[in-house]
């Protein structure tokens, strides 16, 4: 159904000469988009989620030489009383939004910075969120709408170093996530691991410096580089793990 809908949006963009936009797509849906044969799309597409490094992204289907703006707005959420505000998680924010009756596909990423957060959403529901998103758990909050161009986001991360026998997907994941092989392999073979937005199900997939790896339910890491090679032929590598 998603494939059919995406092709339909491309056809509409081509025949009407206007930009057409999908809802926000998760990693699995983005993988479906990128694996559809390009000749099925009469209008080209781009993807964007409101800021660089966004995980959930909207697809824009575009006729040639058309100027456009993504229908995405950012809602900055802050506590009414910062002193008594709880430490809220991504799950807390998302749960409170779902309680407002908002579909997940209308929402992009949720960025949390200490007591504040930024929610990316389709522009038609931004005002609704601003007016009705007033409480998360026991914390009263207030929101203001921002243009995505005004958002500056510097992700926080830990730098982790470790030695591996080769620069394979499974060995690099073992540095970032100290799990046994029996627990790591299902993350890859079970279709939960993406490299640069592409679904990878092979444990032996060879990584390159700068590759972004997303593991559904476990976060995102960046394989930075091989720092050196040991006398025993192992590689000392550096990985960024986003907090």
pLDDT at 152 (0 to 100):
80
Residues 60-71 have a mean pLDDT of 88
Q: Report the chain's mean pLDDT, rounded to a whole number.
A: 93
> Do 8 and 53 fall within a single domain?
yes
> Do 146 and 161 fall within a single domain?
no
* Cβ count within 10 A of residue 195: 17
Q: Of 62, 92, 113, which closes a domain?
A: 62
Please report where in the chains the tokens 């993350």 appear, as a residue: 187
Looking at the predicted structure, is the pLDDT value of residue 51 above 80? Answer: yes
> Do 6 and 36 fall within a single domain?
yes
pLDDT at 197 (0 to 100):
85
Q: Of 150, 167, 200, which closes a domain?
A: 150
Instruction: List the CATH number of the domain containing 176.
Output: 3.10.290.10
143 vs 76: CA distance, rounded Å: 5
Q: What is the pTM of this model?
A: 0.83
pLDDT at 198 (0 to 100):
87
Provide the number of structural domains found in the chain: 3
Give the CB-side neighbour count of residue 202, counting CA atoms within 13 A.
6
Q: Of 44, 62, 80, which closes a domain?
A: 62
> Do 48 and 16 fall within a single domain?
yes
Among 99, 102, 127, 129, CA closest to 117: 129
Looking at the predicted structure, is the pLDDT value of residue 150 above 90? Answer: no
241 vs 13: CA distance, rounded Å: 39
pLDDT at 201 (0 to 100):
93
Kindly state whether residue 67 falls inside one of the protein's structural domains. no
> What percent of the chain lies above the pLDDT cut of 90?
80
> What percent of the chain lies above the pLDDT cut of 70?
100
Domain residue limits at 105 = 72-150
Task: Classify the phi-psi angles of 174: left when phi > 0, otherwise alpha if psi is within -120 to 50, otherwise beta.
Answer: alpha
- Kind plus residue range of the DSSP H or E element containing 226: strand 219-229
* Cβ count within 10 A of residue 47: 18
């Amino acid at each position: 159904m998603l494939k059919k809908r995406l092709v339909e949006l491309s056809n509409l963009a081509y025949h009407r000469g206007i930009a057409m936009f999908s809802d926000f797509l998760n990693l699995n849906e983005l993988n479906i988009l990128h694996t559809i044969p390009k000749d099925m799309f009469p209008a080209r597409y781009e993807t964007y989620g409101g800021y660089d490094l966004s995980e959930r992204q909207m697809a824009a289907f575009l006729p040639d030489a058309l100027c456009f703006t993504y229908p995405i707005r950012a809602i900055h959420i802050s506590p009414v009383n910062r002193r008594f505000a709880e430490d809220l998680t991504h799950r807390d924010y998302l749960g409170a939004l779902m309680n407002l009756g908002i579909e997940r596909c209308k929402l992009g990423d949720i960025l949390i910075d200490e007591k504040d957060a930024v929610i990316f959403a389709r522009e038609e529901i931004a005002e609704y969120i601003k007016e009705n998103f007033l409480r998360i758990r026991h914390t009263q909050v207030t929101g203001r709408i921002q243009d995505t161009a005004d958002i500056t986001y510097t992700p926080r991360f830990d730098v982790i170093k470790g030695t591996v026998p080769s620069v394979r997907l499974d060995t690099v994941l073992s540095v970032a996530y100290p799990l046994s092989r029996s627990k790591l392999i299902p993350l890859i073979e079970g279709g939960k691991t993406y490299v640069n937005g592409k679904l990878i199900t092979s444990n032996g997939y060879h990584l390159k410096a700068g590759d972004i790896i997303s593991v559904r339910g476990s976060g995102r890491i960046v394989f930075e580089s091989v720092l050196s090679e040991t006398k025993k032929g192992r590689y000392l590598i550096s990985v960024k793990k986003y907090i």
